[in-house]
Structure 1
Amino acid sequence: MFRKKAGDVLMELLMEWKVDHIYGMPGDSINSMIESLRKVEDRIKFIQVRHEENGALAAAAYAKLTGKLGVCTAIAGPGSIHLLNGLYDAKLDRAPVLAICGQVESDLMGIDYFQEVNLSRLFDDVAVYNQRITSAEQLPAVVNQAIRTAYAKNGVAVITIPDDVQKAEVEREARFTSPVVVKSRHLPEQEDLSKAEVLLHQAERPVILAGKGARNAGVELVKFAEKLAAPIVLSLPGKGVIPDEHPYSLGGLGLIGTKPAYEAMKEADTLILVGTSFPFTGFLPDQAKTIQIDTNPVQIGKRYPIEVGLAGDAKETLKELLNRMQEKQDRTFLTRCQERMAVWWAKMEKEENVEALPIKPQNVVKGLQQVISTDAIISCDVGNVTVWMARHFRMTNQKFVISSWLATLGCGLPGAIAGKIAYPERQVVAVCGDGGFAMTMNDFVTAVKYELPMMVIVLNNHKIAMIKFEQEVMGNAEFGTNLHNPNFAKYAESCGGVGIRVEKPEELIPALKKAAMQSKPCIVDVLVDANEAPLPSNITFSQAAGYAQHMIKELFSEGKLDLPPL
């Protein structure tokens, strides 16, 4: 009878699902599967990472960028535990990812064997599908169900395969199912569309807040805004849905957003949420009639009170609304918002043009703008760097990826690796702070090993700078935020890449131009001002008061302020 090992069948199934690469590290409890992977290395490439967390973060970024399944693998015990951070990033940003985890042999489970961890319990919270395979015959159906569920629910599927099962032969009578996921056209109920039509007709000061759920609906979103005479504000995951300098764009919202977006929200009488579950509701209107569009009915009304919920795909729902709407004649509110945005861009440009020593981080973003391609992939890390990129980088047709809901430090480099694998012909740039980059910098050698040319810009201020600012606005003295960094440019060279150190403003543009021309991974290590605070676009009294308290504590601690006599 014709038989195949379970590991070989697994590879065949992954190829049927169009998987062409897997991130991971080999090891004892997955070595049998790795041997099966070796046999098909011309069709499924194994990307050997130096830390499983980076593999999972890369898989998540790949899924966010492409919509296709990201796949990572790890051994039982420590390897699987390392995956968790990246898998939670995928869960919270709703990206389809498959994690294939090894496990100790079946007859050794339950006796506290070496590296045995209860993986079913470990992954229970992060996964939309979580199953241990107990026999080779069970594997085909479980693998198909896992991938189907990851796609259908935009989440993490985990399959755990004991080492003995990987080596076992699959009988011909095993249950085989179809490697297919079917999508449907999501449209709201006609009654809800009619209710939305009434609110849109009554709106005098409408504002649109769009998120990543509107990524496939940029054209319809602009037509909708034009007809409604409404400015568009973008959530951070939605950055790039429309160009940042589009006439209807007011940029982002919140602490990393723009003042015109903040002001528009405060004045709005009607709010239209499109493909976003924006969590920072303090920045939304105090009183506005609200329409929310989302494919997931669970998200509608979850964080903010609404009048009308439209459970449907953003593109299709906006088309339905456009067919029902009359063009709004009064464009006073829109014009006022656009005038404010022009003032805001002038302010940003003034900040970007400051050539100071140490270099201002805004100046680095302006420099990047001069060397980046219109179709580049940008992987942004978390921290102050997020603020500078969100406010100052003008997206055109680039793709932007970040850890938005989990906001985990270190996502920049793995995201760039995934971006270059997904789009090998495009320019790829990672923009990182020194704290975030240092967390995952070990996989820069992975980019070198697999010949993935990319530019990694490190804003190096020897600080966990965002936490420094958070401590200050709380009125606390800065503590525990200083970093002792290596020379990242020399580190790049020691890895076999290209390293460029930038210490003076006049060195910046030549360095970025040089980096953009490299055929190897390149780190541009830019020394930036640690005291450049990522001030919110609208400073509250409590923030100002807290910062004043911080300055008094700093002066006391430095002996520059004497206590009054008793």
Structure 2
Amino acid sequence: MFRKTAGEVLIDLLIEWGVDHIYGMPGDSINSIIEPLRKAQDKIKFIQVRHEEAGALAAASYAKLTGKIGVCMAIAGPGAVHLLNGLYDAKLDRVPVLAITGQVESDLLGTDFFQEVNLERMFDDVAVYNQRIMSAEQLPAVVNQAIRMAYTKRGVAVLPFPDEIPRFEVGAEARFTSSFFTMPELFPREFDLEKAKIVLRQAERPVILTGKGAKGARDSLIEFADHIAAPIVLTLPAKGVIPDEHPYCIGGLGLIGTKPAYEAMRNADTLIMVGTSYPFTAFLPERAKTIQIDTDPVQIGKRYPVDVGLAGDANRTLKWLTQQLDKRHDRTFLEHHQKLMKEWWETLDRQEKDLSVPIKPQRVIHALQKVAKDDAILSVDVGNVTVWMARHFRMRNQQFVISSWLATLGCGLPGAIAGKIAFPDKQVFAVCGDGGFGMTMNDFVTAVKYRLPIVVVVLNNHKIAMIKFEQEVMGNVEFGTDLTNPNFAKYAEACGGIGYRVERPEELQPAFEDAVSQKKPCIIDVEVDANEAPMPAKITFGQAAGFLKHMLKELFEERKLDLPPLR
């Protein structure tokens, strides 16, 4: 009787788990998986990327945008090595990803064979589950376990396949398990909830710091904020949890944040952290009673001292607290920061209307804002572009995806590819600096090949501009930050897409309006001012002193006076 091969069973199991596409590059050690994947293209698509790193970054972005597992695939050796950056992005942002890799044949392991790499050791740090497939009979149970672990632990599962295994038939003695997972509904202990009530009743200047763990809890978060008269500060991964211009939102925190958020943290007597383990603790209150809500008890008190830990779902926990507390009538603290936020928006409005040349980056974000629909997907790369988007793009109901913890350059384009595959009917933008786009720009042809009409916005200043600013703040002369770029608009056309070159402010809006109407991938290449520093909302004395030191070095080292030689 004919039995299915291990490769065929693998594809069947992925389909059972709801996987409908895989990012990867075919090659010799996975060709026995590629063949059954080819036969199942009506149920599960293979998206051929031009670099495995882009495939892993796309898989991570897909997981961030949808909550579903992202899947990527690569050959043994170099292909598997290329996956690592994207897999670490998934690990640090805590999203489910499955990586399937080839490996040399089992009887060649340990012989230093061609492309042999110790994959189990290499993937050990990045993975919550890392198991080489040892036999065809082992495969069904291990695949189910890998995907279940990726979902429940919110991390990366890796399955290296020795070359011969996918060709073997799966015998009747194989152990088949269930292709689903289930999660508990977490609610804090009554003792902890009562402690939180006492702290909140005594609060006079409460501030809510919201992380991505509050996604899906918008209504209960706003109701809670209204009930205790607290402004809401958003971490970068939480941008969009509530609209940026909501009356209770006072923006982000830290170097990408707003002055009202900085002031609120400085004056708060009570901090409520919801779904975040915020790492930049220097921006948090020096002395404040602190409550932290998180589904993962390990995160509570991990980076910042807390008085009360509530291990539970944000939505249910906030609803319970709202019901149990009397509504606060003194809204002086909230209204003060709402007034500051109104003034902050007016400041940003003035920056966005600047007509100078080279174009100010803030004006580019303003142009994007005008064409982006309420449900658009925004895949944002790392660098100064993160600052401009975090501050100036006013989220309503759009989705915002970024490499937040690893902060890896090059994530913007793969994220947009994943966004368009996940949501084909929505507008999708990649917003990149020239440094970030240059890292993965070869996969623009992937968008062309699969007819994914994304819009890539490149803020082109011929610099690794954030590093330039960091060097200057340290008091150093910038070094190693210049970039030699192609004309990205012509590059788009060479790839089969559409390109727009923008050098003057009046050219911006027409380019954006035309690009969003196209049925092909587009690149809008905007020449922006390299000297527009992404200054933090509140400049410290150390930063100001460092910048002054840099200016003196520039004067005395780079512009030496032409004096006669000493006699």
TM over 0.5: yes
| Map of 2:47 onto structure 1 | 47
Instruction: Look up the equivalent residue of 2:513 and give its one-letter code.
Output: K
Give CA deviations for 1:490-525 in whole Å, capped at 9, x if unaligned: 000000000000011110111111111110000000
Residue 255 of structure 1: SS of its match in structure 2?
helix
User: Offset of 1:561 from its aligned partner?
Assistant: 5.5
Distance, in Å, in 2 between the alignment partners of 1:423 and 1:349 is 31
User: Offset of 1:323 from its aligned partner?
Assistant: 1.7
User: How do residues 340-379 of structure 1 correspond to structure 2 at under 5 angstroms?
Assistant: 340-379=340-379
| Map of 2:552 onto structure 1 | 552
Distance, in Å, in 2 between the alignment partners of 1:57 and 1:253 is 26
Residue 131 of structure 2: SS of its match in structure 1?
strand
User: Offset of 1:560 from its aligned partner?
Assistant: 5.1
| Map of 1:279 onto structure 2 | 279
| Map of 1:302 onto structure 2 | 302
Distance, in Å, in 2 between the alignment partners of 1:144 and 1:316 is 30
Distance, in Å, in 2 between the alignment partners of 1:29 and 1:364 is 45
Residue 94 of structure 2: SS of its match in structure 1?
coil
| Map of 1:242 onto structure 2 | 242
| Map of 1:102 onto structure 2 | 102
Q: Is the 8 A contact 1:556 1:562 kept in 2?
A: no
Give CA deviations for 1:228-249 in whole Å, capped at 9, x if unaligned: 1000000000000000000000
Q: Is the 8 A contact 1:96 1:150 kept in 2?
A: yes
Fraction of identical pairs, as percent: 72
User: Offset of 1:426 from its aligned partner?
Assistant: 0.2
Give CA deviations for 1:345-404 in whole Å, capped at 9, x if unaligned: 000001111011000000000000111111000000000000000000000000000000
Residue 26 of structure 1: SS of its match in structure 2?
coil
| Map of 2:132 onto structure 1 | 132
Residue 330 of structure 2: SS of its match in structure 1?
coil
Give CA deviations for 1:58-88 in whole Å, capped at 9, x if unaligned: 0000000000000000000000000000000
Distance, in Å, in 1 between the alignment partners of 2:428 and 2:2 is 46
User: What is the number of residues matched between the two proteins?
Assistant: 566
| Map of 2:450 onto structure 1 | 450
Give CA deviations for 1:264-304 in whole Å, capped at 9, x if unaligned: 00000000000001100000000000000000000000000
| Map of 1:115 onto structure 2 | 115
Distance, in Å, in 2 between the alignment partners of 1:458 and 1:522 is 11
The yes-or-no answer on 1:165 pairing with 2:172 is no
Residue 533 of structure 1: SS of its match in structure 2?
coil
Instruction: Look up the equivalent residue of 2:102 and give its one-letter code.
Output: G
| Map of 1:535 onto structure 2 | 535
Distance, in Å, in 2 between the alignment partners of 1:564 and 1:44 is 75
Residue 185 of structure 1: SS of its match in structure 2?
coil
Instruction: Look up the equivalent residue of 1:57 and give its one-letter code.
Output: L
Instruction: Look up the equivalent residue of 1:466 and give its one-letter code.
Output: M
Q: CA RMSD in A?
A: 1.1
User: Offset of 1:564 from its aligned partner?
Assistant: 13
TM-aligned CA distance change 1:174 to 1:535, over 3 Å: same
TM-aligned CA distance change 1:172 to 1:507, over 3 Å: same
| Map of 2:14 onto structure 1 | 14
Distance, in Å, in 2 between the alignment partners of 1:563 and 1:363 is 43
Distance, in Å, in 1 between the alignment partners of 2:511 and 2:62 is 28
User: Offset of 1:2 from its aligned partner?
Assistant: 3.6
Give CA deviations for 1:512-550 in whole Å, capped at 9, x if unaligned: 111111100000000000000000000011111110111
Distance, in Å, in 2 between the alignment partners of 1:211 and 1:148 is 25
| Map of 1:412 onto structure 2 | 412
Instruction: Look up the equivalent residue of 1:459 and give its one-letter code.
Output: L
Distance, in Å, in 2 between the alignment partners of 1:32 and 1:431 is 37
| Map of 2:496 onto structure 1 | 496
Distance, in Å, in 2 between the alignment partners of 1:357 and 1:325 is 54
TM-aligned CA distance change 1:281 to 1:565, over 3 Å: farther
Give CA deviations for 1:291-341 in whole Å, capped at 9, x if unaligned: 000000000000000000000111111111112111001100000010000
Instruction: Look up the equivalent residue of 1:156 and give its one-letter code.
Output: V
Distance, in Å, in 2 between the alignment partners of 1:470 and 1:170 is 56
Give CA deviations for 1:161-204 in whole Å, capped at 9, x if unaligned: 11100111100220000001012110000110000011111100
| Map of 1:61 onto structure 2 | 61
Give CA deviations for 1:465-486 in whole Å, capped at 9, x if unaligned: 0000000000000100000000
| Map of 1:81 onto structure 2 | 81
Distance, in Å, in 2 between the alignment partners of 1:66 and 1:562 is 62
Q: Is the 8 A contact 1:555 1:561 kept in 2?
A: no
TM-score, normalised with respect to structure 2: 0.99
Q: Is the 8 A contact 1:2 1:172 kept in 2?
A: no
Instruction: Look up the equivalent residue of 1:362 and give its one-letter code.
Output: Q
Distance, in Å, in 2 between the alignment partners of 1:30 and 1:360 is 48
Give CA deviations for 1:127-161 in whole Å, capped at 9, x if unaligned: 00000010000000000000000000100000111
Gap runs ≥5 in structure 1: none
| Map of 2:436 onto structure 1 | 436
Residue 345 of structure 2: SS of its match in structure 1?
helix
Residue 506 of structure 1: SS of its match in structure 2?
helix
User: Offset of 1:559 from its aligned partner?
Assistant: 2.3
| Map of 1:263 onto structure 2 | 263
Q: Is the 8 A contact 1:473 1:546 kept in 2?
A: yes
TM-score, normalised with respect to structure 1: 0.99
| Map of 2:318 onto structure 1 | 318
Distance, in Å, in 1 between the alignment partners of 2:359 and 2:462 is 13
The yes-or-no answer on 1:201 pairing with 2:201 is yes
Instruction: Look up the equivalent residue of 2:519 and give its one-letter code.
Output: S
Residue 169 of structure 1: SS of its match in structure 2?
coil
Residue 432 of structure 1: SS of its match in structure 2?
strand
- 4+ long deviations beyond 4 Å: 560-566
Instruction: Look up the equivalent residue of 1:333 and give its one-letter code.
Output: F
User: Offset of 1:557 from its aligned partner?
Assistant: 2.6
Distance, in Å, in 2 between the alignment partners of 1:449 and 1:250 is 42
The yes-or-no answer on 1:462 pairing with 2:451 is no
